[in-house]
């Protein structure tokens, strides 16, 4: 798979740009008052995330969407200060995993909207979408699968490549129809090759599962 290196002097995202702009219509009323500050200079991600119980109900999560958004913004803000290296853990990846485990589907939706906004740059896109694929978290599984499938049709080659990478980690043959459609529409030769290789990988996975 292609990993875009990007420019490490380019921030992954600037704090405060996303809050209040979610595409989820059911959340619009929550953001009517506009952006709030993530206040990232005064608090760590862990202290923010741990302020809500692990057993938070759906209603509690909805009532704290401001907090969830500021958490995600802070995590992506970390990307501006990090150098990503294959195989090495870093604050961005570990904290993004923590956010997904903590907030589940709402976190995946916010991450998706951030990526679709065009504000996430360079290798941060590939890293984030890879995390959506390789994290072991059953409650958000289908949201992550659906997100990666849909992002195969993104107008951004970088996002499409990241979605391909994420699906390779997820290794779910149910994505094959989406990948085949993406292959038919893909104009970038290298990405089309990656998608074809991914199709073969998932077909092999399906054959092993079926005992073929």
Question: What is the maximal distance between C-alpha atoms in the chain?
Answer: 57
pLDDT bin (cut points 50, 70, 90) of residue 84 is low
Q: What torsion, rounded to 10 degrees, do the Cα atoms 191, 155, 204, 212 define?
A: -140
User: What CATH number is attached to the domain comprising 52?
Assistant: 1.25.10
126 with 3: CB under 8 angstroms? Answer: yes
pLDDT for 212 equals 67
pLDDT bin (cut points 50, 70, 90) of residue 89 is low
Note whether residue 90 is domain-resident. yes
pLDDT for 81 equals 54
Does 2 have pLDDT greater than 70? Answer: no
Domain that includes residue 160, residue range: 25-210
Lowest mean pLDDT among 46-50, 81-85, 135-139, 159-163: 46-50
Note whether residue 138 is domain-resident. yes
Does 150 have pLDDT greater than 90? Answer: yes
The model carries a pTM of 0.70
Note whether residue 5 is domain-resident. no
pLDDT for 80 equals 64
Q: Is the model more confident about 209 or about 49?
A: 209
28 with 22: CB under 8 angstroms? Answer: yes
- Token digits of residue 171: 């290794």
Note whether residue 139 is domain-resident. yes
Note whether residue 18 is domain-resident. no
Residue-by-residue DSSP string for 77-144: HHGGG----TT---HHHHHHHHHHHHH-HHHHHHHHHHHHTT-S-THHHHHHHHHHHH---GGGHHHH
Note whether residue 36 is domain-resident. yes
pLDDT, tens digit, 9 for 90 and up, residues 151-196: 999 999 999 999 999 999 999 999 999 999 999 999 999 999 999 9
Note whether residue 9 is domain-resident. no
> What percent of the chain shows pLDDT beyond 70?
65
Does 93 have pLDDT greater than 70? Answer: yes
State the total domains in the chain.
Answer: 1
Q: What torsion, rounded to 10 degrees, do the Cα atoms 186, 164, 106, 156 define?
A: -40
Note whether residue 108 is domain-resident. yes
């Amino acid at each position: 798979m292609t990993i875009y290196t990007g420019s490490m002097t380019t921030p992954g995202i600037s704090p405060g740009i996303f809050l209040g702009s979610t595409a989820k219509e059911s959340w619009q009323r929550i953001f009517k008052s506009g952006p709030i500050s993530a206040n990232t200079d005064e608090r760590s991600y862990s202290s923010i995330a741990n302020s809500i119980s692990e057993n938070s109900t759906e209603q509690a999560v909805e009532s704290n969407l401001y907090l969830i958004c500021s958490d995600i913004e802070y995590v992506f803000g970390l990307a501006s200060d990090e150098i990503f290296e294959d195989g090495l853990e870093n604050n961005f990846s570990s904290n993004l995993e923590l956010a997904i485990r903590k907030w589940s589907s709402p976190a995946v939706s916010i991450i998706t909207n951030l990526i679709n906004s065009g504000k996430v740059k360079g290798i941060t896109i590939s890293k984030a979408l890879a995390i959506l694929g390789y994290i072991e978290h059953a409650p958000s599984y289908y949201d992550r699968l659906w997100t990666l499938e849909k992002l195969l049709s993104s107008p951004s080659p970088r996002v499409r490549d990241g979605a391909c990478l994420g699906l390779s980690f997820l290794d779910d043959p149910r994505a094959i129809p989406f990948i085949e459609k993406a292959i038919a529409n893909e104009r970038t030769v290298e990405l089309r090759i990656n998608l074809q290789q991914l199709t073969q990988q998932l077909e092999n996975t399906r054959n092993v599962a079926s005992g073929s």
